[in-house]
Structures are given as C-alpha cells and as structure tokens.
Amino acid sequence: MGDSHAPIGVMGDHTHNKGKLMFAYRYMRMFMDGNRDGTNNVSASSVLGSYVVTPLQMTTQMHMFSGMYGLNDTLTLMAMLPYVMKSMDHRNRAGVKFTTNASGF
Ligand SMILES: [Cu+2]
C-alpha cells in the first residue's frame, strides 16, 4: 500500500509489502470517577447501602507495543502487546479509604 497511513491511533488501516517491518508504541491514560447504575449516577453512600466497599475513582494507563510484518505483498501479520496498569481508590462502610493496584502484560 505504499506510504499512506491513517492517523496514529487508527490500527489495521494498511498493509505492508513483502519483508517490510513496522514497530509502534502508544501510551494511553484513562480516568474514571463515580458510579453508575445504567444511565443514572449513584452516590458512594448509596452504593455502601448495598455493599461493604465502593469504588471511588480509577486510573488506567497502557503502554501498547505493536509490530507489523509483510509476509508477502497481500498478507501482513500484526501483533500487539499491551502493558496495563490500573489503580482504584475505594471507601468502605467504616469510612476507611484504600487503593488497589494491578499491572501486567
Ligand atoms: Cu504498519
């Protein structure tokens, strides 16, 4: 397909000629706050009426490594390896706040 590419962030928009390689790195950050039930906002105290712990906010970060390789002029292989880091703040019925973290490939 030559040198034309969609904007960064648009994946799978092109192929490569035989033997051509491409590597990419992307960083993504997402912040979420509050709780919902369907389309309605739900307060933390309302959640704590039904559950012993409520989430308050969460931050997700992702390092995305990807590569492409032109197997031949009509077939391109693509692989993606995301490393995700999540952090969530909580509050329990006793008013104690705490944070949990998770990360990995
Ligand atoms: Cu490519």
CA of 24 to the centre of ligand 1 (A): 8
CA of 42 to the centre of ligand 1 (A): 43
* DSSP helix, strand, coil percent of the chain (3-state; round to 5): 5, 60, 35
Residue 3 confidence (pLDDT)? 66
pTM of the complete model? 0.73
pLDDT band at 2 (very low <50, low <70, confident <90, very high): low
Residue 59 confidence (pLDDT)? 98
CA of 30 to the centre of ligand 1 (A): 25
Cα–Cα distances (Å) from 80 to 67, 77, 83, 105, in that order, read 7, 10, 10, 11
pLDDT band at 4 (very low <50, low <70, confident <90, very high): confident
CA of 85 to the centre of ligand 1 (A): 26
Cα–Cα distances (Å) from 60 to 3, 10, 21, 47, 104, in that order, read 33, 20, 30, 22, 12
Residue 71 confidence (pLDDT)? 95
The residue that leads in pLDDT, 12 or 31, is: 31
pLDDT tens digit string along 42-83? 999 999 999 999 999 999 999 999 999 999 999 999 999 999
CA of 76 to the centre of ligand 1 (A): 8
